[in-house]
Amino acid sequence: MKNILVFASGSGTNAEKIIAYFDAVSEVSVQKVYCNNPNAGVIERAAKLGVGTRVFNRSAFTTEVLDELKTFRPSLIVLAGFLWKFPKQIIDEFPNKIINIHPALLPKYGGKGMYGKHVFNAIVANNETETGITIHFVNEAYDEGAIIFQAATQLTSSDTVEDIAQKTHRLEHTHFAPQIHQLLRD
């Protein structure tokens, strides 16, 4: 049995899609969702799907959470809208087992502070004709880990920040879980 731990900070739509996808896969299980925001929507989404959550603060991240991760020995740690930088201690403990999804075609629009609407605003400001998603391994630098997968979508000059967000979310919801599954097969 392969097991996944998901880290999320927000509404949790990607986490929800991942949990639902793996409900139908007998050899993979989403064991728990870790969240750094006690008011995040992901907590309720996970509960509705029968997955427990662990809310933690910054001081517990490299102590209690790291100890729990060592106990779980996950096949994969998936960042699905998790906004904190992952600590070096955890990255070193789980090399090439931590992945993230980014709402742009890296290396464009990556780095500290580039998430969600910040990315979409930059895309609009630069009149991009294409954007997409990037699934990548996590290393010590924001959005600089090895790229696993990218998918693109075309943009029009009339696309708003909200339009770009919707197009990006569709790509995330379509590709993230299957790419996780593929990684677990390799």
Count other C-beta atoms under 10 Å from residue 128's C-beta: 17
- Cα dihedral: 105, 5, 16, 43 (round 10): -120
Which residues, 6 or more positions from 51, have their beta carbon under 8 angstroms from its beta carbon?
19, 30, 31, 32, 33
173 annotated active-site: no
Beta-bridge partners for 102: 134
Burial of 141 (0-12, 13-18, 19+ CB in 10 A): exposed
CA 81, CA 42: separation in Å to the nearest integer?
10
In sequence order, what E strands does the chain have? Answer: 2-8, 28-35, 52-55, 76-79, 98-102, 130-137, 147-154
* Per annotation, catalytic residue among 102, 118, 136, 181: 102
Question: Looking at residue 108, what DSSP letter applies?
Answer: T
The catalytic site residues sit at 102
